[in-house]
Every structure is written in C-alpha cells, then in structure tokens.
Amino acid sequence: MKGLRKDTSVAWMFLAPSGIGFALFYLIPFAMGLYNSFMDGTVDSRFVGLDNYRALLASDSFRKAALNTFYFSVVSVPLLLLLSLSLALLLNQNIYFRNWLRMAYVLPLVVPVASILLVWQILLDWNGSLNAWLSSYGIARVDWMKTDDARTVIIVVYIWKNIGYNVILFLAGLQQIPKDYYETAKIEGAGCLRRFGSITMVYLTSTIFFVVIMSIINSFKVFRETYLIAGDYPHESIYMLQHYMNNMFTSLDIQKLTASAVLMAGCILLIVIGMFILERRYRQFME
C-alpha cells in the first residue's frame, strides 16, 4: 500500500507540468470564452443568457460559414478515408517501389505548410502553371480560387495534406492482422470481399474509428490552408467557420467569437460522442 501511494505521488509529479500547461493554455481560456459568450461585453458586462447565440444563428454570414464547413466535412472526410484505406491496402502488398511510395505520402507531414501552399498558389494562380498548361491546349484560363472550383481545390489540398498520416495508421493496423487468418479463409473458399469484410474491417475497427475522428477534427482546422491560398476574403464557397471567427476577432466582437467557438466545440463533441456510440454498437454486433 505504501509503495502504491509512492508510485501515485511520483506519477502525479510527472503529470503536473503537462496538466498545468493544458489547463493554462486550453481549459482556462475555453472556460473564459464560455463565460464571455453569455455576457454583453468584456468590460462592465452583464449576463444576457442566450442572446449572443440567437444573434449568431440569425447571422447570414455565420449560417453560410457553418453550411460550408458542414459540406466540406461531409465530402472530404469520406473521400480521405476511402483513399487512405485503399492506398494502405496497396502499400501493404509486395509491390515495386513500395518504400518510395510510403515516403512520398509522408512528405506533406514533414514539410512546412506555408512553403508548400506557395507551390499551390503558383499552380492555381491566373498566370500559374495549370492555366499556362490549359491555355496551351486552347482552354480558357480559370481563376480557380475565385469560383466555385475553390471548394474542390481546398478539398484536394486537405486530402493531400492528411492522407499520409492516415495511411501510416492504416498500415500499422493492417500489419497487426495475422496472415494465418487470410490463408485459412482462402482455403475455406472465402473470396476477396468476404475476407476484407470479415477479417480486415473487423480488425481495423479501432483504427478506422480513430482515423475518422481525427479527420473530422482536422476538417474543422482547414482555415490555415484556405487563408494562405485564398487570402483574407476567400470565395464564398470556402468561407468557413474559422473565417467567421477570424473576422469577429478582427472586429473585436468577442461575444460572437466566443459563441461561435463554443458552438463549434459542441458540434465536434457531439460527433465524437456519436462515433463512440457507433463503435460500441458495432463491436457488440460483431461479438
């Protein structure tokens, strides 16, 4: 008992710096933001209840930002999941240049985002490489970031930036599956689809669950890429929640800023809870 208490004290001592940092830079600021979202100002303020949230939901710009963010997540996350899983299955086979391909998909994770997005700007600019190539074939130039095509561009950039991380996670999960299971299923006459559904998907459940959650969270953090490619005022099709919050911060409208941040955090929390429930039910169904 004495030894257990000593170990617990040592553990808390090592965890204390991280806990203090997390509370100082995350928990306390979020609590302050939650408090400010119910007030009418930051100085000599008074409690106004849900008035800030009602004003926020009545705002056309907020509704557009929320709709664009929802559309982006609904489209990009399934595409990212499908492509990363397909590539992981491919790279898990004994194919030529497998190690080089793995390195190619990991490179976007280690190269600074700002420098890479400059390359995307050069490619997609009115006088960029892509338009120069298209015009050589007689196709009219397109200002990609000032049309509805901007949404497609941001989805492609998001997938390109995050696919390497997901591929690594899926590869780690695939390599944990015993090869004997596939050989036994093949001997018993199970086809490729049956082996994939009954073995691969079952053993990748936890990995898929984690990848989906991380992909959804990252889809809410696409502001950096959009801002660096399209600037302060992007096309309305890629005007996201974080653009709205950035504008509220610029105008020092702290109440709308904190209210929108709380709503976004609440949505992410609900999605994560829903994913936990789905994963638990799926496990119970498979058992």
- CATH number, position 62: 1.10.3720.10
125-139 core/surface letters (b: 16 or more CB in 10 A; e: else): beebeebeeeeeeee
> What is the domain extent for residue 196?
58-286
Is 47 within the bounds of a domain?
A: no
Q: What is the pLDDT of residue 102?
A: 67
Collect the ranges in the chain with pLDDT lower than 70: 1-6, 95-105, 232, 286-287
Assess if residue 27 is contained within a domain. Answer: no
**pLDDT on residue 81:** 93
Tokens of residue 106, six digits: 């990991």
What residues contact residue 146 under an 8 Å CB cut-off, 6+ apart?
A: 235
Assigned domain for 258 exists:
yes
Domain presence at residue 17: no
Number of structural domains the chain divides into: 1
Confirm whether 279 is domain-assigned: yes
Give domain status of residue 189, yes or no. yes
The pLDDT, as a whole number, for residue 87 is 87
pLDDT of residue 179: 83
Does the predicted model carry a pTM greater than 0.75? yes
Is 34 inside a domain boundary?
no
- In terms of Cβ atoms closer than 10 Å to its own Cβ (0-12, 13-18, 19+), residue 245 is buried
Residue 48 belongs to a domain: no
DSSP state of 9: H
- pLDDT value of position 283: 73
- Residue 67 pLDDT: 92
**pLDDT of the residue at 96:** 66
